[in-house]
Every structure is written in structure tokens, then in C-alpha cells.
Amino acid sequence: MVQARMHPRTGILFIFLLVSACASTPEKHQPLDPFETVEQSSDGSSEKRRYIILDTKRYISGPYGEEQEVLALITTIKNSSKPSAISNRAVNLPNKPANLSLTVYDYDAPGECGGHTFRVYEGDELQILEFDFPENNKITRIRDYTRGPTPFVSAGLWGPYDHTEGTAVEMCLLAGEGRKDGMGLMESRYVIGWITNIVDWKQAELGAEYASAVSNTNNCLRGQASLAEASVRPQKSKAMTPKSGGTYQVRAGDTLGSIARDVYGDFGRWIELYTANSVSIGENPNKLPADIILKLP
């Protein structure tokens, strides 16, 4: 591991090479598709390191939480919550530049769906899904950066900006090429947060709790939407819903939730719209390409 420290009096920057404890993944945690785990020997010795390959890049850990599940929950929260504006100075973030405005969506899942509390923060080149994890009579807030001005940002807990609020713990992130195995690790500290994918029991626990809460909430909400649809189906024929089976041309400002609300009177049916049009929409349901024609299931 490469560590950089500044001498407090002389201002000289010192570089240290350290052995990283973050170079392996937890045995019980299986990397998610499209990540592929490979083992490589270091300098032809018996020592082996485990990496995860994505787009020819090597990473030290797989994500906690599936990307599509995280993005789907963000869409649900935005479509069912009233937005409010705050300053980014009100939120302890690793990259805390000027006094910028953030849009916040607060969401409490129904009790029958786990009653989890989530928040979505959005700003210039920024999107975060925050999860409140209750533990020992206090709340640990886990933040998943899903969009940001860096290639190391993605839905799911694994990027260098993902952290829990109010802690100061070392983080590890991919920094560049190393002499031995083609990658270097840089050690850094954030006063306000730490990366949640570093391999130790605590981070693995928090990552698993986050992934489970996101997945279970989505599955429950989908089940509720299906039950609601089934309950009205016998009383409502297709002839009574002329928009079903038709098409809709996306306009500026449209979201899947707003279209579902206007077409069906139920924002929760955005999932059906996305399922029927995922090829033309792409991987991110939050970004509708302009002027595409959606099929109405």
C-alpha cells in the first residue's frame, strides 16, 4: 500500500509502502455480476491476491447491493416523496466544496416492508442513497454515492466515496498501477466518513444490512403493486383502459413515475413501464432518453 504523509513542520511529503489488509474479499460474500473474481500470484511466489475484474480494471472488493436494485429504489423514493432543499454544509460529505444546494427526498418504507428509512440527496453531479441502520439505540447512516464527478462512483457500496456518517477510519481505494501486480492501493483518511467495502467484520455487516434493506424493500413494494393491480383487474377490463397497449412519447421532464401516474393513475406501475421498455431506456431507469416511444403494458 502507498501512504502519503506531510511532515507538520518542514512540509516535506513522505511516501510509505505498506502491506494492505484490504487486498482480499470476504469468503462469504460473493461478487455480483458483472464482477469476476480472479486470483493472481505476486512475483511468481506462493502468495496470491484476489481481485475483481470490471471493464479490464481490477478492484479489491465487490459491491454490496445490486446496481439495478439501488437505482430502482431511488426512482421509487423520488416518485413518492416531496423534495426539499438544503445546503450541502448541513450534510457531512467527504467532498465538501462550496455552499451548494442539495435536493433531499425523505422516505420511510411501509412497516410491512421493513419500515426502513432512506434518503436521496441530489445536486450538481451528485446523487446519494442514504440508509439509516438502527444499532445499539443509535442510528448509523450509510451513504451510497451513485453519481459523482469521478469514475470511482457507482450504485452499490464499493466506491471510495461511500461511507458511514460520523466516523474517522482508514479507507482503501484503487489508485493506479503497482510494480508487482499492476495496481496500487492508497491509504487515506476522512474525518467524517469511511469506505464501507473494506474487508473486516464490521464493514461486511453494514454492507450486508444495506444490500438486504434495499432488496427487501424493493421486493415488498413490487409485491404490493402486483396485489393492488390484481385486486382491480376483475373489475376493470382492458377496453376500459384505452391507454394500455398503446404508446407514449417521452417529453422533457418526464420520469417513469410521472408517466405511470398520468397513464395509469398509479406511480408504482413505473416498474412495469421499465420492464416493458428496458431495452430502449437502458440500464438506468432514472434517465429517460429524449423523444423515445414507450410501449404501455
The pLDDT, as a whole number, for residue 117 is: 92
* pLDDT, tens digit (0-9, with 9 covering 90-100), for 211-225: 889 988 988 888 776
Just give the CATH number of 236-295. Answer: 3.10.350.10
pLDDT of residue 215: 87
What mean pLDDT, rounded, does the chain reach? 66
**Which residue(s) pair with 102 in the sheet?**
86
Predicted model pTM: 0.52
Write the DSSP string, 3-64: EEEE-TTT--EEEEE---S-SS--TT-PPPTT-EEEEEESTTSS-EEEEEEETTEEESS--B
pLDDT score for 13: 37
pLDDT surpasses 50 at 10: no
> What does the alpha-carbon distance between residue 17 and residue 40 come to, in Å, rounded to a whole number?
20
The segment(s) of the chain belonging to CATH 3.10.350.10 are 236-295
User: Could you report the per-residue pLDDT of 117-156, keeping only the tens digit for each?
Assistant: 999 998 877 888 999 888 888 888 888 888 876 656 777 7
Residue 252 near residue 245 (C-beta atoms within 8 A): no
What region does 103 belong to: left with phi over 0, alpha with psi -120 to 50, or beta? beta
CB-based burial, 188-211: b 16+ in 10 Å, e otherwise:
eebeebbbbbbbeeebbebbbbbb
Q: How far apart are CA 3 and CA 83, in angstroms?
A: 41
Distance CA 266, CA 71 (A): 19
pLDDT score recorded for residue 104: 92
**How is residue 297 written as a grid cell?**
403494458
Contacts of 240 (CB under 8 A, 6+ apart): none
Residue found under cell 471510495 = 160
pLDDT band at 290 (very low <50, low <70, confident <90, very high): confident
* Interatomic CA distance for residues 57 and 72, integer angstroms: 26
Task: Say which range, 7-21, 47-61, 87-101, has the weakest mean pLDDT.
Answer: 7-21
Grid cell for residue 225: 403493486
